[in-house]
Structure 1
Amino acid sequence: MATHYQILIIGGGTAGVMTAAQLLKIKKSRKIAIIEPADTHYYQPAWTLVGAGTYDYEKTGKPMAEVMPDGAKWIKDKATAFDPENNSVSTASSGKITYDYLIVAPGLAYDFSLVPGLGNAIDKGVVCSNYTDPKHTWDVIKNFKGGTALFTQPTTPIKCGGAPQKIMYLAESHWAKSETRSKTNIVFATAGSVIFGVKEIAKTLMEVVDRKDINLRFGYQLKKVDGANKIAWYSYAEHEKEINHKSIKIEKDGDLTGVHYDMLHTAPPSVSPEFVRKSTLVNDAGWLDVDKNTMQHNKYANIFGLGDVAGLPTAKTGAAIRKQVPVAVDNLELLIKHDKIGSKSYNGYSSCPLVTDYGKMVLAEFDYDNNFTPDPKLKSLFISDSSKEHWRLWMLKKYGLPYLYWNKMLKGKDV
């Protein structure tokens, strides 16, 4: 006999914990369970700072048991399959679990097969990623003695699209304190055609790129990595643009262009978790098929999805989740009480704190249309224009946001 819950949540990350906490605030006696296999809950936005040697990795994690909301049952297990017609989820070891309402928020997964060679090279030697092992990133940066420092990213959606360039700006600052910088070419190769999609932010970042003399290569699609020979292989369109051109060692192999590197930082290629991807719940791109304004599933009315797994045309960030959760909770409440959802709507808000130096940051806040939408609360920090570099924004990133995360967001409080 399957165990039954009124509300079943898949995922004990930011979205799952925050949603459970808000639902239990409204009604304590609810039967809610969260399926989550991990022992530790990480505050991943701080991993950029860990990779730059300015934040303690140990402080980015807490035992999962500590962050689970009072009143929610933690099922320490993996979800393995959906049966939405019968309101049931299969698990690795707890059998089937049934529900009245389901919230799907397991985050995303990494698929290294999409960039052959990267899986074997990552987190070893001079290849690093703040997404997978930020402590190794710091080791690579502090031990780097010059050459070509290549910062890049895959063509898939990734967590926090700005993260691959934040660590580059911090690495440049670190190297500038020694002889290393004068012996280094810093290259940023990206498949995009702009440094950032919000024009006010892009303007500032291009000034940062010029100040730091970083070679930008647009239109570069990462195809494979040859770890043994330290070459990253790309395809790119002929209209590809370069800013601050640097002469670096390049080679050709058919249609591919190889960039030789002496260190490489990248984000891993990202997809939805396999059990989601193989289900009937996804869109054509393989992400959870939800309405972009209500967070309700487009086919199954009693299923909601949010966070990184959701197929939404906005950046996958914790800040996005902060605005998605109240919408999903409100709509779910009305669905339970009145069998219809309300008028609360998510506008695609996301935010990317772009650290540009030790002690400087720009805060990119934007919606589905890439409109720059700064939070009015920033005025209380005496920040009149968050598209410009500011030390107070750095303080917000390093101290303010982690505090708000652990003490407010995860406890279901409005922030």
Structure 2
Amino acid sequence: MNVTFSLLAKNVTKTAFRNSSYSCKVLVVGGGTGGCATAAKLSRILKKNELIIIEPSDKHYYQPLFTLVGGGISTLSEAGKSMRDVLPANAVWLKDSAAEFNPGENSVTTQRGHSIKYEYLLIATGLQTDYDKIPGLEAGLSGDTGVCSNYSAKYVELTYKALKNFESGNAIFTYPNTPVKCPGAPQKICYITDHYLRKVGKRDKAAVIYNTSLPVIFGVKKYADALWEICAERQIQVNLRTNLVEVRPDSREAVFQNLDNPDKMTTLKYSMLHVTPPMSTPAALQNCSELTNEAGFVDVNKLTLQSVRFANVFAIGDCSSTPNSKTAAAAAAQCQVVFKNMESVMKNTPATANYDGYASCPLVTGYDRCILAEFDYNLTPLETFPFNQGKELKSMYLMKKMLMPPLYWTLMLNGFWNGPAAVRNLLHLKFSQK
């Protein structure tokens, strides 16, 4: 069935027709960081009608900025742009979401009933935030109860409100018992809160508590050691293997389970409760066992990012099974690998480009300081700069606040930024790593 498309800003073609059939050379499912950046690269080697992007949202958010929005440093409007302004011009945008993957038939069915046949598929759906999985959490987020979360554009502005309203009591921060995007973010807001309360003279009236389901404060020992020192110095209580299972907003109580002793439950009163919700891949992926592993993540070769079962399918970013920290920086490093390997497969040559697991987490530890954690699959530091990044530095904070957002909008989403590997190689030709 032929469909007439309407032209929007940046010449991005969008359609919302129902029950239509399409075919394309490359289908990209997801217009987040990885999907958008890789689509931009693909758009330069494909004709417009050869590339279709499925993305339901009208807004694209630079989610790493949500930490600063929650701390009152940046605004939500600074973190978002119109989706049509960030998707590549030389592509067709289908404003929809995937409902069913049929990799054996090289097709995807959408929520609106579209059927799309493809030659090659890039899955970039990201993770969904499952606020409903914790009883009482959505009720807490819908009222003036001190509950907040930086993981949603809908809720992120509640965090600074909770900060300003805090007078005394427990300020609790949580990390769930699931994989999450930007795993450093749950504790970044903890450090920002500590700094905020010191600035306004309320820190002596507060108990700052970080409850994480993980057995470590951070996966890379070098940075974990630095964070433990910060917590000790600032009297931040850290409880490992402690998972939020219920919120009672009426009584301002949070219930936690000890994951090493599941029968042990602890109920804490809170004045401020910042929740990182459980996360998962979208249902359409979870329901497609041909593409995914038991956890619902797209089962790919961790080096080539190619599906282990379908040679014409790739995945990028948070929805893939790669065992790296799920960050925007990881997607940047993966982007060039995915593009090169998809291009190779299109030419009937082997996919040989490899991803080393690079991820970066700017661990903001206050309103003017940051530890820039960078590491690979082996959790070995892979630092860009020729100095010790395991220390709190103002320069790294300014880079996080001032440099990274424009780099993201102008280079990353347009397919021109593949992570700092080239910069790192250049710098370390002149300086030795310390």
Query: TM-score normalised to the size of structure 1?
Result: 0.92
Q: Does 1:259 align with 2:279?
A: no
SS of 2:100's equivalent?
strand
Deviates more, 1:24-33 or 1:209-218: 24-33
Output the CA distance in 2 between the equivalents of 1:137 and 1:13. 24
Alignment deviations for residues 123-167 of structure 1 (CA, whole Å, 9 cap, x no partner):
532000001222111100111111011111211111111101001
Matches within 5 A, 1:113-262: 113-122=132-141, 124=143, 125-132=145-152, 133-236=155-258, 255-262=264-271
Q: 1:355 aligns with which of 364, 369, 377?
A: 364
SS of 1:149's equivalent?
strand
SS of 1:77's equivalent?
coil
Q: 2:284 aligns with which of 275, 278, 284?
A: 275
2:432 aligns to what?
A: none
Q: Does 1:7 align with 2:26?
A: yes
SS of 1:408's equivalent?
helix
1:320 aligns to what?
A: 330
Output the CA distance in 1 between the equivalents of 2:48 and 2:67. 39
One-letter amino acid of the structure 2 residue matched with residue 50 of structure 1: V
Contact residue 44 and residue 90 of structure 2 kept, 8 A? no
The 1:344–1:30 alpha-carbon spacing in structure 2 relative to 1, beyond 3 Å, is farther
Output the CA distance in 2 between the equivalents of 1:276 and 1:121. 29
1:76 aligns to what?
A: 95
SS of 1:74's equivalent?
strand
SS of 1:255's equivalent?
strand
SS of 1:397's equivalent?
helix
The 1:365–1:30 alpha-carbon spacing in structure 2 relative to 1, beyond 3 Å, is farther
SS of 2:121's equivalent?
strand
Output the CA distance in 1 between the equivalents of 2:206 and 2:182. 26
SS of 1:354's equivalent?
strand
1:403 aligns to what?
A: 406
SS of 1:151's equivalent?
strand
Output the CA distance in 1 between the equivalents of 2:260 and 2:284. 38
Q: For the aligned residues, what is the CA RMSD? A: 1.7
The gaps in structure 1 that reach 5 residues or longer are: 240-252
One-letter amino acid of the structure 2 residue matched with residue 359 of structure 1: D
The 1:319–1:238 alpha-carbon spacing in structure 2 relative to 1, beyond 3 Å, is closer
Query: TM-score normalised to the size of structure 2?
Result: 0.88
The 1:238–1:327 alpha-carbon spacing in structure 2 relative to 1, beyond 3 Å, is closer
Q: Does 1:296 align with 2:306?
A: yes
Deviates more, 1:78-87 or 1:397-406: 78-87
One-letter amino acid of the structure 2 residue matched with residue 202 of structure 1: A
Aligned-residue offset at 1:25: 2.9
Q: Does 1:385 align with 2:388?
A: yes
SS of 2:294's equivalent?
coil
One-letter amino acid of the structure 2 residue matched with residue 305 of structure 1: A
Contact residue 25 and residue 412 of structure 1 kept, 8 A? no
Count of residue correspondences: 395
SS of 1:401's equivalent?
helix
